[in-house]
A and B are shown apart, each in its own frame.
Chain A
Amino acid sequence: MWNEKIEKMSREEIRALQSERLVAQVKRMYEKVDLFRQRMDEKGLKPSDIKGVEDLSKLPFSYKSDLRDYYPYGLFAEPMSKIVRVHASSGTTGKQIVVGYTENDLGMWSECVARMLTEIGADNNSFVQVSYGYGLFTGGLGAHDGATKIGATVIPISTGNTKRQIQTMIDFGTTVLCCTPSYALYLGEEIEAMGVKDQLKLKAGIFGAEPWTEDMRKAIEDKLNIKAYDIYGLSEIMGPGVACECKEQAGMHVWEDMFIPEIIDPDTCEVLPEGASGELVFTTLTKEGFPLIRYRTRDICSLNYEPCKCGRNHVRMRKPSGRSDDMLIIRGVNVFPSQIEEVLIKVSEGDITPNYQIIVDRVNNNDTLDVNVEMSETMFTDEIEAVEKVEKKITEMLRSTLGIGAKVHLVNPKSITRSEGKAKRVIDNRKLH
């Protein structure tokens, strides 16, 4: 194990550490984050009311909309002079959300990833190919820093150019691959087609940032001749590595020295009993730059507190089975239907927003996004060039708003099926759960 002392803690030790850290975090945030202090005051709570994890459920929730309302730096708990990096991801509207990290935060993040890499057999002799996107997205740099921490040789190839990815695996002797599961499957198929499977030294892969099934895991393991491990994270809480699978492949261990997970009923907001399925909520215990208390992830899953055969007692979360909101994960990117609606509102220039429908599918292991838009008075003219211009404008605005490409189809008015007068906004034909 990378950090045996922490990773092998008993439930009692974990709980004691969490209590100590929670009390300190609440006190710190009450002093430094205006929104948190306001919400505590509204509830009539003082930091001294929080004496340990048993008081967690008294604390106010935080929401993704907070990140939009206090964009960009309004929720940071350290001055910008202490912030050494920012990452960003999609918000529910056109505006992205931004998070910040102190040097210590980056250290804790790489610690999480280092624990996972060590668990799956990687060490300073490993070659870790990071085929996640590098940039504001947390995937690339998150895996990169973790691999650096264990002393592995990092191959920071980022996404794209499949032939070069495969040639690099062969030439550089890649042993661990990090990318999205759908891309892993695609790579596996290309490798089969090229007939170079026996030239690979791959042993394991860490795949995350999008939902995937056990069938996909089997297919990836078979095609790449590796063990495929799941990783979970979200930029608001840290990035990939908040929870990681161990060799048992039986749920992802949440690193409870840094995060407290809770499962709540998304409607009543009550904490649910152990093992129940509900919305996952996270509290960060060690984050300095951008700490959050009881953050509503909107992911639906359950927690398993049974000791794991791997020797760890850190709680295991099941793969999320869905969302309590309408967020879609397409090619690893978070997409909200409201972002698409916002583009159409802009295009219709104050007139009635046209009806639309989002169709997501997976073709050859690649997510596809199609947006059907009903033709409206403002968009239609008698000249084909003008209509094509509108179509192109929507396509370009969607690309810049969502960060991924969408195929736009202009369709007849009232042709999108409505049930009870309301158009069904999203059709997801992928079978991911």
Chain B
Amino acid sequence: MNIKQLSIFVENKPGRAYAIAEALSNNNINLSALSIADTSEYGIMRVIVDDPEKAKKILQEAGVMVKITDVIAIPMDNSPGSLTKILKILTDADISVRYMYAFVNEHKGGAVLVTKTGNNDMAVAELSKFGISTLDNDNLF
């Protein structure tokens, strides 16, 4: 199961990231995960929200470059080695990891690993072979 991530272009100027977060919260968009990959001049902000289509519209209207990207969300228990286990499954199946970030999901009482891989569908299938079921946008919130 893939989930929808918002990928947002952010210039490295004071207040840019804040303006984006503010636009979302003003419109009651619930933001549950965020990561930024950046260079010295700009970055790509990746966020998981409860209503990606609505959030995309809001940001576009605010003049922000935004795209929706398919990623997968994998629940992790708090035991040591759970990340290693997931990565091993993907590595053994020869699936590349483009990027990943994690967040704590309070409601579900555990961490969630968000990743984009070279082949998301194959990754989901491989993980399920090991009893790991990926999350969808609905059961994240």
The answer to whether B39 and A388 have CB atoms under 8 Å apart is: yes
The answer to whether B41 and A383 have CB atoms under 8 Å apart is: no
Instruction: Report A-chain residues with C-beta under 8 Å of the C-beta of B69.
Output: 382
Contact for A382 among B38, B39, B41, B46, CB less than 8 A = B46
| 8 Å CB interface, B1-41 against A | 5, 7, 9, 11, 16, 37-39, 41
Q: Which of A375, A382, A384, A411 has the most CB of B within 10 A?
A: A382
Contact mask for chain A residues 173-197; partner B; CB cutoff 8 A; 1 contact, 0 none: 0000000000000000000000000
The answer to whether A384 and B65 have CB atoms under 8 Å apart is: no
Name which residue of chain A comes closest to B38, CB basis: A384
A268 within 8 A of B: no
Total A residues in contact with B, Cβ cutoff 8 Å: 17
- CB of A293 to closest CB in B, whole Å: 49
A364 within 8 A of B: no
A413 within 8 A of B: yes
The answer to whether A382 and B5 have CB atoms under 8 Å apart is: yes
SS of A interface (majority): loop
B101 within 8 A of A: no
A380 within 8 A of B: yes
Contact for B9 among A380, A388, A409, CB less than 8 A = A380
Contact mask for chain B residues 56-75; partner A; CB cutoff 8 A; 1 contact, 0 none: 00000001110101000000
Instruction: Report B-chain residues with C-beta under 8 Å of the C-beta of A45.
Output: none
A381 within 8 A of B: yes
Contact for A383 among B42, B43, B98, CB less than 8 A = B98
B141 within 8 A of A: no
Instruction: Report A-chain residues with C-beta under 8 Å of the C-beta of B7.
Output: 380-382
- CB of A115 to closest CB in B, whole Å: 50
| A387-B42 Cα distance, complex, nearest whole Å | 10
The answer to whether B41 and A409 have CB atoms under 8 Å apart is: yes
| A169-B127 Cα distance, complex, nearest whole Å | 72
Instruction: Report B-chain residues with C-beta under 8 Å of the C-beta of A381.
Output: 7, 67
Contact mask for chain A residues 350-390; partner B; CB cutoff 8 A; 1 contact, 0 none: 00000000000000000000000001110011111001100
A400 within 8 A of B: no
The answer to whether A387 and B44 have CB atoms under 8 Å apart is: yes
Name which residue of chain A comes closest to B116, CB basis: A382
Instruction: Report A-chain residues with C-beta under 8 Å of the C-beta of B46.
Output: 382
| A174-B64 Cα distance, complex, nearest whole Å | 57
Given contact pairs A382-B69, A413-B65, enumerate 20 new A-B contacts (beta carbons under 8 Å).
A377-B65, A380-B65, A380-B67, A381-B7, A382-B67, A382-B116, A383-B116, A384-B37, A384-B38, A384-B39, A387-B9, A387-B44, A410-B11, A410-B42, A412-B11, A412-B16, A413-B63, A413-B64, A415-B11, A415-B63
Q: Which A residues form the contact surface with B (CB < 8 A)? A: 375-377, 380-384, 387-388, 409-415
4 closest Cβ contacts across the A-B interface?
A382-B7, A382-B69, A384-B37, A375-B65
Q: Which B residues form the contact surface with A (CB < 8 A)? A: 5, 7, 9, 11, 16, 37-39, 41-44, 46, 63-65, 67, 69, 98-99, 116
